[in-house]
């Protein structure tokens, strides 16, 4: 049974740093000041040992759980059934859920380069007074995570109980575990990889090419024009949506069923349900996402290869032996196939790491990490529960009243 109890109303928060000394990026470039938009759920306990950092995927935001005030006309019996959308991982974050906000202080921040409140290409460049556009420096997963360490410092947290996330969120989890092993007790990378494959790079690049091909993109300089490269971004998003599903989930969700038609129209109107789904999601995405952020974030993912700096994945995790890993892949995920996770398990085992690995039978493709709620709840919940008991993590004083 899915737990529908919501955490309720949450507010975005903002943390700005690198005001005086700019933030140094892996590329050698700098950027500053840097603002991270974040949300927190639950309360920090007395010794600050109950913090869990949630990392979002490509199109995600800091809004992982609960409802924003403007989306929530009534608090009474608030659920997702009313068409009001809660945070992107609401089913796993809340009282009694996998990330139990009665016990843990859960944090989620929008990545550097994003377009949901954190500094990114759509932000105003203080040196020009205009949006950065392509003047924004290319950032890496390493840069995103280093920015997060500043936020975690700001929140007064020495060591996170756990870092968790799927897809690009999982890459950030792995970056935390490899680069800041002393600052995380446990790491939960879901449906992810330690090394973006050529297939993943190819899919990213075609999405970017779709954006470049849109004349309204105008080399990233479109913020003042009042015209955005929506057509290109929609195509990029449609490609993404195909890769998030599996053959089987497509058969279940759509089959060859037609949309609002009894028979073939023999024209180029949208007629199969799967076409309608893609078009709807593609267009919808353009209302909530910045095309330049899409370029920057996919590029960061493409650069991600933890084995590169050290020559081997095992060496990359040599100092992470104290971190407890729960690694999860899904059998029908063809975007981040299980072999990525298995390579990671082998490397961690070779490095003497503490690894639990599950390849979960699911027909939902890459989306499974968000959709297999019962399995995730049981698995992540019991992993965290055991961890918290082993580490004698105290309850927060204010278990209620956010």
User: Is there a contact between 300 and 144 (Cβ–Cβ < 8 Å)?
Assistant: yes
Radius of gyration of the chain (CA): 21
**Cβ 313 to a second copy shortest distance, Å:** 13
Burial of 306 (0-12, 13-18, 19+ CB in 10 A): buried
> How far apart, in whole angstroms, are the C-alpha atoms of residue 104 and residue 324?
17
> How far apart, in whole angstroms, are the C-alpha atoms of residue 117 and residue 382?
33
Judged by beta carbon, residue 19 or residue 27, the one nearer a second copy is 27
Q: Which of 195, 228, 324, 366 binds a second copy (CB under 8 A)?
A: 195
**Cβ 98 to a second copy shortest distance, Å:** 30
Does residue 276 carry a catalytic annotation?
Answer: no
Tokens 């105008």 correspond to: 218
Residues with Cβ within 8 Å of 162's Cβ and at least 6 positions away in sequence, in order, are 52, 53, 104, 184, 185, 186, 187, 188, 384, 387
Does residue 366 carry a catalytic annotation?
Answer: yes
Q: Provide the 10 A C-beta neighbour count for residue 266.
A: 7
Q: Which of 282, 286, 306, 323 binds a second copy (CB under 8 A)?
A: 282
Does residue 167 carry a catalytic annotation?
Answer: yes
Residues with Cβ within 8 Å of 235's Cβ and at least 6 positions away in sequence, in order, are 207, 210, 282
Residues with Cβ within 8 Å of 82's Cβ and at least 6 positions away in sequence, in order, are none
Binding residues for a second copy restricted to 41-100, rule: CB under 8 A:
none
Q: Which of 9, 84, 134, 314 binds a second copy (CB under 8 A)?
A: 134
29 in contact with a second copy (CB under 8 A): yes
| Set 100, 143, 290, 333: catalytic member | 333
Q: Which of 279, 319, 342, 346 binds a second copy (CB under 8 A)?
A: 279
Site string for a second copy, 214-253 (x = CB under 8 A): xx---------------xx-xx--xx--x--x-x--xx-x
**Cβ 150 to a second copy shortest distance, Å:** 21
Catalytically active residues, by annotation = 167, 333, 366
Binding region for a second copy (CB under 8 A)? 26-29, 134, 137-138, 195-199, 201-203, 205-206, 208-210, 212-215, 231-232, 234-235, 238-239, 242, 245, 247, 250-251, 253-256, 264, 266-268, 272-275, 278-279, 282, 295, 299, 302-303, 305, 334, 337
């Amino acid at each position: 049974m899915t737990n529908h109890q919501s955490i309720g109303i949450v507010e975005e928060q903002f943390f700005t740093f690198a005001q005086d000394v700019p933030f140094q990026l892996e590329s050698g470039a700098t950027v500053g000041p840097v603002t991270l938009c974040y949300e927190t759920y639950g309360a920090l306990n007395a010794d600050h040992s109950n913090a869990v950092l949630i990392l979002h995927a490509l199109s995600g935001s800091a809004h992982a759980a609960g409802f924003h005030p403007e989306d929530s006309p009534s608090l009474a019996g608030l659920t997702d059934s009313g068409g009001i959308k809660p945070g992107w991982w609401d089913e796993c974050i809340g009282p009694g859920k996998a990330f139990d906000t009665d016990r843990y202080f859960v944090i989620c921040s929008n990545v550097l380069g994003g377009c949901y409140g954190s500094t990114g290409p759509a932000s105003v460049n203080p040196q020009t007074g205009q949006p950065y556009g392509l003047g924004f420096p290319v950032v890496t997963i390493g840069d995103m995570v280093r920015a997060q360490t500043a936020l975690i410092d700001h929140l007064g947290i020495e060591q996170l109980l756990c870092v968790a996330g799927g897809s690009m969120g999982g890459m950030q989890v792995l970056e935390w575990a490899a680069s800041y092993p002393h600052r995380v007790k446990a790491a939960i990378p879901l449906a992810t990889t330690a090394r973006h494959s050529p297939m993943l790079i190819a899919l990213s690049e075609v999405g970017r090419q779709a954006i470049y091909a849109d004349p309204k993109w105008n080399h990233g300089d479109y913020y003042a024009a009042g015209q955005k490269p929506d057509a290109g971004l929609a195509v990029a998003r449609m490609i993404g949506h195909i890769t998030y599903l599996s053959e089987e989930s497509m058969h279940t969700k759509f089959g060859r069923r037609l949309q609002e038609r009894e028979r073939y129209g023999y024209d180029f109107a949208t007629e199969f349900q799967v076409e309608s789904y893609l078009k709807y999601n593609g267009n919808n995405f353009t209302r909530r996402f910045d095309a330049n952020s899409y370029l920057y974030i996919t590029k960061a993912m493409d650069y991600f290869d933890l084995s590169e700096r050290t020559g081997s994945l095992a060496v990359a995790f040599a100092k992470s032996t104290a971190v407890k890993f729960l690694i999860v892949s899904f059998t029908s995920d063809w975007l981040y196939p299980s072999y990525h996770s298995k390579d990671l398990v082998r490397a961690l085992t070779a490095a003497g790491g503490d690894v639990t690995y599950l390849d979960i039978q699911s027909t939902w493709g890459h989306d499974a990490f968000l959709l297999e709620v019962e399995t995730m709840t049981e698995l992540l919940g019991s992993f965290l529960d055991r961890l918290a008991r082993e580490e004698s993590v105290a309850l927060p004083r204010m278990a209620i009243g956010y």
